[in-house]
Amino acid sequence: MRRRCIYLQRPVGVTPDRAFSGADFVRDLPGRLGEEFLVDDKVVDIAFPAVALNHASGIILDVIVADVDGAEVVDVYAIAPCATGEPPE
């Protein structure tokens, strides 16, 4: 029997404390997530801190840090290739 498969997409935006460094966060994130996440070097070069990561399971994770009205905002966009069940509220 073939399993029903859906794509789950979850964009999340976070505004960290003022002491936060977006460049440091993006630089250190791949090492903090572990070796199953690989940096995708085939991305468009942009002017603010960003990293695209691929997980061994097929999950895609994009993290971008941008300045919004003088505050750094972290945008996280994740796609899971085969999620099951209902997405969380």
Range of the domain at 68: 10-83
Sign of CA dihedral 60, 66, 68, 73: positive
Cα–Cα distance measured from residue 68 to residue 56, given in angstroms and rounded to the nearest whole number? 33
Total count of domains within the chain: 1
Whether 29 maps to a domain, the answer reads: yes
Indicate the pTM of the whole model. 0.72
Q: What are phi and psi of 19, to 5 degrees?
A: -75, 0
Whether 33 maps to a domain, the answer reads: yes
Joined tokens for residue 53: 């990561």
Whether 3 maps to a domain, the answer reads: no
Whether 23 maps to a domain, the answer reads: yes
Whether 24 maps to a domain, the answer reads: yes
Joined tokens for residue 3: 């399993």
Which tens digit of pLDDT belongs to each residue from 26-74?
A: 999 999 998 889 999 887 788 889 999 998 888 888 999 988 888 888 8
